[in-house]
Amino acid sequence: MRKILLGTTAVVSAAFGAAVITPAAAQDAPTVRIGGAMQVYYGLIQQNGASSNPGNTPGVTFNSTPFNGSSGGTANAVGIVNPLIPGVANSGGNFARLGKSDFISLPTVSVLVSGKSALGFQYGATITIGFNTQEGNLSIGNRVGVGRGTAVADEAYLELAHPRFGQIRAGDEDGVMGGLMNSGFITNLGSGGVYGVWENFQTRQNGNRTQTGAAQLGDNTKVIYMSPQFFGFDFGVSYAPNGGGFGQSGCPSDTATSGCDRAYAFRGATGFAIAPAQSGGPMARRNEFQVAARYRGSFAGVGVAATVGYIGGGTARDMTEGGQQVRTMNGHDVWQFGAQASYLGVTLGANYQFGDYNFFWGNPVRGDRNGQSLNLGASYTAGPITIGSNFVTHLYEGGSRNTFNPLTGALTPNSVAAGGAARQRRWAWAVGGNYRLAPGLDLIAEYVYSSVREQGRDLDVGRAGVQARGQSNVFIIGSRLAF
């Protein structure tokens, strides 16, 4: 589920976590509280892409299922008829003109359980359910099979804490470098700026839908430890055996498929490094661990926070060639540094990360160049008003990468660029503001611009363009109620 870093699905649990480390005065039986958030936004969207492939006809919708010929069109090589232009076959890809305005609603419900033991430990559980986590609809003909309003469990974990020993979380939750202990991401403006709800207004028309933020690393099932603070310092670690959530994800039988979280080798594994956002993409991860060290303090009224962390792990092996297990990908090997400072309502932050990873947190193929990301942000709060801006730029190997031969281990440079494929470049900029109308109720306005470019690859599925260029402009107004 895409969400703001330390965003709405984590707001209540974060508050609960803060309460957990309060010293216990007496033993209490578990109590249950319902929290969550409700967000409604209007968006004005301009999303476009460009390709030099002359066979593409932007603005014309091609149906992706065969016709019986009654439309008067001519079937192409795979029997698909263009029903709109008689005599012209579908020459590549499906296209549609999209409306420029839309409403979205984002309901979230959290069940919060908390209790105290006579020994001074506090314990509890958090279960967060989102009702708009599906990307589009799974449609069968004109019938919707799975709608965006389908309830999906997001975060679900147990928690045990003590003020002297720290806290342990076990279950489906962000890791210590996946949103729990990061510094430098300024997202208190609008709905979160470049990591806000603008993505919910996007399609994959130009590959400009999903960012690669810390909180988008995923809630795969893991165990987490976060220490108490010592002179302003604390640290944390988290471990997940694989990329799946809730266990046994995608494993219907002992014949493991590419979507099985326990599969440490499978056919086509390398393909997930190219399209990690597709179903089963995170399943290439093996033994993922995150480590973070953080400092929080105040100097002459200036509040500061800084984090250094590492994300590592292995990856599944490819069995495409004759069932032989071949290491074609690298595991994650990512360092991240972040810092922020606040004074008199002004907050400034910066975060930089680099290492072995690709866009959408995909695993890199052996021989890929490192990915890197720079985040900058600033906000100002005066009474009920908060305004600010944030910016992110990414550089990845991309999808038009060098070709890796799993038998010989050789790399074949992509012909579109001398010495190998051009890299994928993404950047986004946002400005936004909030007005606290009442406790828990904010009015929000925000503008986001995003761009993605990659030579040699068109991010629209089914098109074979030479240059991928996509831009998005999204203006958002709406409200958010956290309860």
Selection from 146, 148, 196 nearest residue 41 by Cα: 196
pLDDT higher for 465 or 319?
Answer: 319
264 touches 270 (CB < 8 A) = no
pLDDT of residue 248: 80
- Return the residue matching tokens 């890809």: 93
Choice among 59-73, 117-131, 265-279, 393-407 with the minimum mean pLDDT: 59-73
Q: State the Cα–Cα distance between residues 203 and 100, nearest whole angstrom.
A: 12
Residues in the chain, overall count: 483
Distances (CA, A) of 458 to 325, 371, 433, 465: 31, 20, 34, 5
Selection from 268, 285, 293 nearest residue 217 by Cα: 285
Choice among 74-78, 295-299, 476-480 with the minimum mean pLDDT: 74-78
Q: State the Cα–Cα distance between residues 139 and 8, nearest whole angstrom.
A: 29
Per-residue model confidence as pLDDT tens digits over 292-317 = 999 999 999 999 999 999 999 998 88
Selection from 383, 451, 456 nearest residue 209 by Cα: 451
Per-residue model confidence as pLDDT tens digits over 389-437 = 999 999 988 775 555 555 554 545 454 444 445 688 899 999 999 999 9
Q: pLDDT > 70: what percent of the chain?
A: 68
Q: State the Cα–Cα distance between residues 391 and 292, nearest whole angstrom.
A: 23
Q: pLDDT > 90: what percent of the chain?
A: 46
pLDDT of residue 10 exceeding 50, the answer is no
Segment 53-60 mean pLDDT:
38
Burial-class residue 218 by CB neighbours within 10 Å (0-12, 13-18, 19+).
buried
Q: Architecture of domain 32-55+89-105+161-482 in CATH?
A: Beta Barrel (2.40)
pTM here? 0.80
Segment 249-264 mean pLDDT:
73
45 touches 101 (CB < 8 A) = yes
